[in-house]
Amino acid sequence: MRANLASGLDHVLAVDDDPSMRDLISTYLGDHDVRVTAVDSERDMLSVLSRDSVNLVLLDLKLKGEDGMRIARDLRENSRLPIIILTGRLEEADRVMCLELGADDYLTKPFSPRELLARIRALLRRTRMYETLADAVASVRTYRFAGWELGLRLRRLTAPDGAVVPLRNAEFNLLLAFLSSPRTVLSRERLLDLSRLHNAEVYDRSVDAQVSRLRRKLESGATTLRLITTERNAGYIFNSNVEVVRD
């Protein structure tokens, strides 16, 4: 185990059984004001997590004698720590698998230390943004827009005529994403990012279909206002003022 100890810095936990890779990561990130603890096993990873505050985990999928995929899955199920997978695999199916395990990003070995640092910084920025937005959303009881009302406690959408409109989980989370950023063009990537604040089961390949279903439900109510419109080559925009009712 090797730790680059410094207070007040982002703390990255690197899990890799290759000593040269651990040294590379520790040295390069340490030279760029990132605290690094590098370990070679799940046991040591769990030991660090139990006693120290960690901001991000770098995890090699091919640890000697251990199932890296299971470790990644367990880590995601038991924490919301940002995870970057390190893998020597190149096939698309393996890259998709990394993301479906709950990883936030991945890098294929060999990689540039400069790119690794850039991805770590970008992921930490996104994570902090999500935490800030999640704190703001946590205090919201109800959203009101164009005569509609979305109650977060009961996850109930009520139309202007009083009818309750059922929403699937993905539709509910997409609507939350729109309501948190009204009258703003949201790209597909941004919608996915905002939806993940609410543990949405929304994926890039289905976001257009989910938006279309949500749009149809909103247009089936007592209003003729086109609430969700498509911005060509840009994404979607929610065309209504939104009133927020907080606790």
Do 84 and 200 fall within a single domain?
A: no
Range of the domain at 146: 140-246
The pLDDT score that the predictor gives to residue 202 is: 46
Annotate 172-238 with DSSP letters as a single string.
HHHHHHHHHSTTS-B-HHHHHHHHGGGT----GGGHHHHHHHHHHHHHTSS-----EEEETTTEEEE
How far apart are the C-alpha atoms of 12 and 97, rounded to whole Å? 23
Chain centroid offset of residue 44 CA: 26
Do 94 and 155 fall within a single domain?
A: no
**Structure tokens belonging to residue 118:** 């850039």
The identity of residue 35, as a single letter, is: R
DSSP helix/strand/coil, 110: coil
pLDDT in tens, the chain (247 residues): 444 444 568 999 999 999 999 999 999 999 999 999 999 999 999 999 999 999 999 999 888 888 888 999 899 888 888 999 998 766 667 667 777 777 888 898 889 999 999 999 988 988 887 666 666 566 688 999 999 999 988 889 999 989 999 998 878 888 988 998 899 998 887 787 666 544 444 444 567 888 898 999 998 755 567 899 999 888 999 999 999 887 6
Of the candidates 51, 58, 50, 76, the residue with the CA atom closest to the CA atom of residue 17 = 58
Single residue among 108, 135, 162 that ends a domain in this structure: 135
Do 91 and 106 fall within a single domain?
A: yes
Domains held by the chain: number: 2
Question: Which CATH number covers residue 6?
Answer: 3.40.50.2300
pLDDT in tens, 170-197: 788 889 889 988 999 988 877 876 665 4
Do 194 and 220 fall within a single domain?
A: yes
202 phi and psi, to 5 degrees? -120, 130
Single residue among 116, 135, 154 that ends a domain in this structure: 135
Do 167 and 186 fall within a single domain?
A: yes
The pLDDT score that the predictor gives to residue 77 is: 84
Do 144 and 122 fall within a single domain?
A: no
Do 146 and 74 fall within a single domain?
A: no
How far apart are the C-alpha atoms of 80 and 77, rounded to whole Å? 8
The identity of residue 5, as a single letter, is: L
pTM reported for the whole predicted model: 0.60
How far apart are the C-alpha atoms of 189 and 198, rounded to whole Å? 15
Is 245 in contact with 140 (CB distance < 8 Å)?
yes
pLDDT in tens, 41-71: 999 999 999 999 999 999 998 888 888 889 9
Single residue among 135, 151, 177 that ends a domain in this structure: 135
Do 226 and 153 fall within a single domain?
A: yes
Do 49 and 129 fall within a single domain?
A: yes
The pLDDT score that the predictor gives to residue 114 is: 95
